[in-house]
Structure 1
Amino acid sequence: MAAVAAAVLGTSLLAGCASDDDSGNGSGSGDTDGKTVITVGLFGTFGFQEAGLYKEYEKLNPKVKIQQTVIERNENYYPQLLTRLGSNSGLADIQAVEVANIAEVVQTQSEKFVDLGKAEGVSKDDYFDWKWQQATTQDGKTIGLGTDVGPMALCYRKDHFEAAGLPTEREEVAKLWEGDWGKYIEAGKKFKADGPEGVAWVDSAGGVYNAVISSSAKRYYDEQGELIYKDNPAVKEAWDLAAEAASEGLTDKKQQFTQPWDKAMNNGTFATISCPPWMLGYIQDKGGDKAKDKWDVAQAPKPGNWGGAFLGVPEASKNKEEAIKFAAWLTAPTQQAKLFAERGSFPSTPAAYETPEVADAKHEFFSNAPIGQIFSTAAQGVPTQIIGPKDQVIQENIVNTGLLQVDQKGVSADKAWESAVKTVDNALDE
C-alpha cells in the first residue's frame, strides 16, 4: 500500500500533487542537432523536469539532450520494465525503480544493470546505509542510486485536538506518543471520549498498520530471504494495534487513496494521519484552502520510512557512459536539495540536510511547521529495513483483504487475519 501510494502520488510536497509531463518518444539514443540524447523512464511524479534539473544539466553539458517518458502508475510501469529487461530492448538509458520493487530487481535482474557504486563521483557515504543497501546485491553490486526517502511524521488537526482538550503545540503533541505506538492508540481513546462529534482519531486501520510496520526493521522476510510474516512479532504488533483502533471506533473507516478518503480529508472528519513528506502535498491538495493552518506536523512515535525510489542504468543503454554520469549528478546531494526545495522530494543523502533548502524549510499550509528539521530527524532514525521481493503483495493483502474487513465490516481480528494469510499465500503461490 505504501509503495502504491508513493508510486501513484510521487513525492510532491510543497506544491501539492502533480504529474510529470510525458516528453520524449521512447527509449534509445538519437541526435538532436548533433547532441547525445539521454532517455529517462519514470513513473508517477519525480519532478526532475519541473525543478529545472534537466535544463541545468543540459546547460552544463551543451552536447547532451534529456528526454523523459512517464507512466502515471507504477502498477503499469513495473511490469513493462520487467518485460523490457527480459528482452533487453525498449529500455531507457535511465530507469526508475520503486522501493517496493527494488528487492525483486536486485535479486532477479541485477545482471541487467550497471554497477553504479563504481561510477565516478558516486560515494556510498553520501547515502543512508539502509537506502544504499536496498539497491545492493549480496556481492556488493549497487544497481540503483536513491532519489528520495519517505521519513514519517504524524500530521494532526490542531482545531480537533483543541476541541478534545489535547495539546496543540507540535512538541507537546509528540510527547503524547513518544517512543510507543501503543501510546498513540491510547491518545486516540481520549480523543474519542472528549473530541468533536463526527471526527475520528485516524483515517483508517490500514493507515495505522502501515505506520507501525514501517518503523520496524524486519517485516515479511528475514536476512536469509525466508518468509516470516506469519510469526514476526513486529507484524503482530502492527496488526493488533490497527485492529484495536478499528474495534475501539477510533478510525474513519476509510480505505486510503480512494474517493471517500479524499472527501473525508476535505471535510476534516479525522484528526491524525501518518505523514511522509509527499503526503503533505496530498493533504494540501485535498484539504483545500479551508484546511490551511488547521494542520500541523509532529514527530511520529518511532522513525519509519514510507516511499522512495531509485535510478538505475540498464546494461542495454545505448548511451551508457553519459547515462551513468547523469544519474550520478541527478542524485547527488546538491541536486536532491534543489529538488526538495522545488518539489518536496525528501533527500536520501544526509549531506543535503545541512543545506538551507532543507535545514530552513517550513511549510506555510501546515502552520509553518519546520518540516526540514522534522523529516531530517525522522530520516536519521529509520532502521535498516529488510525488503523482500513480494513485500508489496503481502502488505496489500494484509491491509486490503484483512484490515479492511475489520474496519468496514466488523469482522473479528482473528478471522480477518486468517483470511489475509490465505490470500497472501495464494498470491505468493501464483
Structure 2
Amino acid sequence: MRKTTRKAWALAAGMTSIALVATACSSSNDAADDEGTADGGDITLTVATFNEFGYTDEMFDRYEAENPGVTIEQKVAATSNEARENLNTRLAAGSGTADIEAIEVDWLPELMQYPDYFEDLASPDVEGRWLPWKVAQATTPDGKLIGYGTDIGPEGIAYRADLFEAAGLPSDRESVAALFGGADATWDGFFEVGKQYTAATGKPFFDSASAIYQGMVNQEEAAYEDPDTGDITALDNPRIKEMYDQVTAAAVNDKLSAHFTQWSDDWTNSFQTDGFAAMLAPGWMLGVISGNAAGVTGWDIADVFPGGSGNWGGSFLTVPSQGANVDAAKDLAAWLTAPEQQIEAFQNKGTFPSQVEALDSDEIKSATNEFFNNAPVGEILANRAKDVVVPFKGPQYFTIQDAISNAIVEVDVNGADPAAQWDTFVQVVQGLG
C-alpha cells in the first residue's frame, strides 16, 4: 500500500493530534458501537490487528468454545500505519474502536500521552509474564499498564540461497553468516556483499532502502529525542544524516535496491519474480515472506545481523476504555498474550514471543521453518535477541521516523534528489519544534 504524501500525512497527523488533545478530558467510557452488549450477556468482541499477528480462526474458535456467549471478530489492517490512523481517528471521535486494539511500538509513545483512553491491564495474574523491557515500554510513570506484549522483532537476514549460488556467493546459512561478517558484521560489510551480488548478476540485492534504514536506526539508543528532556535532537544527531546518506547512496549510486516500498503491490509481487536476493527479517516478517513467496523455493535465513543485534517492531494488545465489554476484552487480551498462544502464533507466522516462559520453552528453542530450508528459526531469533539495544522512542518518534522514511522512499522509489528530500525532512522536523 502506497503511503500518503508527506504534506497530506503531516496534515492528517496534526489534525488527529489536535483532536486527541481536545477530547482528552472528555468521557472515555462511551460504548464503542452497537456490537454486543454490556458485560454479562452474549457479546461480540472485535480484535483489530495489522500485518501478521499469527492469530487464527482456530485459536478464536477454541476461545469461544471455552467461553460460551463470546463471539470474536478479527479486523486486520494492511499496514501498521493504517492501523494507527484508524485507531487515532476513533479515539478522537470517542467511539468506534475495536474491543482490543493492537499497537505497534513505534507509535505506542504517542498514545502513552493519553493513558485515560485505555484500561489499566496490570494484574497479579500476569506479573512477570514478559521481558522486563517489554513491560516498561507500555507502563506509564504512575504504573498503569496500557498494553499486553505480543511479540518482539529480533532480526536475521533472509536471503535466496539459489540466487546467491547463481551469483557465485556462498549459499548455505552458516557460510552466508560468515560472508556478512559473523559476530563482527557491519553495515559496510552488508553493502559490500550487495555490491558483489549486483556486479555478478546486474540485479538488485535488497528490496527497499527504507527497510534497510529501519534496521539501522533501530540500533541507535536515542535517535530522534533526548530521553532526559524530551527535546527533539534528530537534526543534531550526526548519525541520522550519516545513515540517510549511506542507504540512499547504496540504493541509487550502487544500484543495490529493487526500489520497492514495502507492503506495496509491486513489492508483494516481486517475491514471485526473483525481484531481489536479501532482506532484513524480524520474526514477524517470516510469515509475510512465506505468504508472498508461496511456491518459490530457495529462501533461507542466516544467523547474522549488521551491527550485532537489532529489534524491528513488536506490538501490544490494548483495551480502549470506550468499549462496551472491557472486562471480557481484558480476559481475551490476557489469553491471547499468554505464553501458550504466543508460541502458537510463532508457529503460525513467525511472530517471536515476548513472554519469558515462551522464550524458555522447547517449542521455541527447537522450532524450525520448512519454508526457509528447515532453518532453526527459534535458535536463530533467540540468538539475534541477545544484546538488543532497546532504543528510546518518545512522543515524536513515529512522526520523525515516518518523515525520513518518506524521504528515502522518494529517493529510492521515485528517483527524487537526495539533498532535496533531506531538506524536506529537515523542514518537517523543524515544524515540530
TM-score above 0.5, yes or no: yes
Aligned residue number for residue 213 of structure 1: 217
Contact 2:55/2:345, CA 8 A, preserved across alignment: no
Structure 2 gaps, min length 5: 5-31
Q: Which amino acid aligns with 1:207?
A: A
Contact 1:161/1:167, CA 8 A, preserved across alignment: yes
**Greater mean deviation of Cα atoms: 51-60 or 298-307:** 51-60
Does 2:393 correspond to 1:420? no
Aligned residue number for residue 206 of structure 2: 202
Q: TM-score, normalising length from structure 2? A: 0.81
Aligned residue number for residue 225 of structure 1: 230
Structure 1 residue 417: deviation in Å?
Answer: 1.7
Aligned residue number for residue 147 of structure 2: 144
Residues 157-202 of structure 1: CA deviation (Å, up to 9, x unaligned) = 2123223332222122223233422211122223333x22x32222
Mapped partners of 1:388, 1:70: distance in 2: 28
Look up the SS of the partner of 1:115 in the other structure.
Answer: coil
Contact 2:284/2:349, CA 8 A, preserved across alignment: no
Q: Which amino acid aligns with 1:161?
A: F
Contact 2:121/2:148, CA 8 A, preserved across alignment: yes
Structure 1 residue 362: deviation in Å?
Answer: 1.4
Does 2:130 correspond to 1:112? no
Look up the SS of the partner of 2:144 in the other structure.
Answer: coil
Aligned residue number for residue 134 of structure 2: 131
Mapped partners of 1:90, 1:338: distance in 2: 29
Does 2:315 correspond to 1:312? no
Contact 1:156/1:295, CA 8 A, preserved across alignment: yes
Does 2:100 correspond to 1:94? yes
- The alignment of Structure 1 onto Structure 2 pairs a total of residues equal to 398
Q: Which amino acid aligns with 2:215?
A: A
Does 2:374 correspond to 1:374? no
Q: Which amino acid aligns with 1:212?
A: M
**Greater mean deviation of Cα atoms: 198-207 or 64-73:** 64-73
Mapped partners of 2:97, 2:415: distance in 1: 45
Contact 1:28/1:317, CA 8 A, preserved across alignment: no
Percent of residue pairs bearing the same amino acid type = 34
1:153 to 135, 151, 156: 156
Contact 1:216/1:304, CA 8 A, preserved across alignment: no
Does 2:37 correspond to 1:30? yes
Mapped partners of 2:101, 2:242: distance in 1: 36
Contact 1:37/1:65, CA 8 A, preserved across alignment: yes
Change (3 A) 1:93 1:271: closer
Mapped partners of 1:204, 1:324: distance in 2: 38
Mapped partners of 1:345, 1:201: distance in 2: 25
Aligned residue number for residue 77 of structure 2: 72
Residues 49-96 of structure 1: CA deviation (Å, up to 9, x unaligned) = 52533333334344x513225152454543443344345444443332
Q: TM-score, normalising length from structure 1? A: 0.82
Residues 125-171 of structure 1: CA deviation (Å, up to 9, x unaligned) = 32223322221112222111111222221111212322333222212
Look up the SS of the partner of 2:372 in the other structure.
Answer: coil
Structure 1 residue 106: deviation in Å?
Answer: 0.6
2:175 to 165, 169, 172: 172
Q: Which amino acid aligns with 2:137?
A: Q
Structure 1 residue 309: deviation in Å?
Answer: 1.9
Mapped partners of 2:162, 2:52: distance in 1: 33
Mapped partners of 1:358, 1:35: distance in 2: 38
Mapped partners of 1:313, 1:296: distance in 2: 35
Mapped partners of 2:71, 2:41: distance in 1: 10
Contact 1:297/1:371, CA 8 A, preserved across alignment: no
CA RMSD of aligned residues (A): 3.0
Q: Which amino acid aligns with 1:30?
A: T
Structure 1 residue 355: deviation in Å?
Answer: 2.3
Mapped partners of 2:275, 2:74: distance in 1: 38
Contact 2:185/2:304, CA 8 A, preserved across alignment: no
Q: Which amino acid aligns with 1:330?
A: L
Residues 2-53 of structure 1: CA deviation (Å, up to 9, x unaligned) = x99xxxxxxxxxxxxxxxxxxxx95664289x74526233032555652533
Change (3 A) 1:298 1:199: farther
Residues 250-295 of structure 1: CA deviation (Å, up to 9, x unaligned) = 2223332223323433221322111122322332333342x31344
Does 2:399 correspond to 1:393? yes
Aligned residue number for residue 251 of structure 1: 257
Mapped partners of 2:259, 2:161: distance in 1: 21
Q: Which amino acid aligns with 1:332?
A: A
Q: Which amino acid aligns with 2:140?
A: T
Mapped partners of 1:160, 1:87: distance in 2: 50
Look up the SS of the partner of 1:166 in the other structure.
Answer: coil
Structure 1 residue 424: deviation in Å?
Answer: 4.5
Residues 340-393 of structure 1: CA deviation (Å, up to 9, x unaligned) = 123432212132123233222211121111111111222343222212233333
Contact 1:48/1:54, CA 8 A, preserved across alignment: no
Look up the SS of the partner of 1:266 in the other structure.
Answer: coil
Look up the SS of the partner of 2:196 in the other structure.
Answer: helix
Contact 2:121/2:330, CA 8 A, preserved across alignment: yes
Mapped partners of 1:59, 1:288: distance in 2: 32
Mapped partners of 1:97, 1:207: distance in 2: 20
Structure 1 gaps, min length 5: 5-24
Contact 1:199/1:268, CA 8 A, preserved across alignment: no
Look up the SS of the partner of 1:255 in the other structure.
Answer: coil
Look up the SS of the partner of 1:159 in the other structure.
Answer: helix
Aligned residue number for residue 321 of structure 1: 327
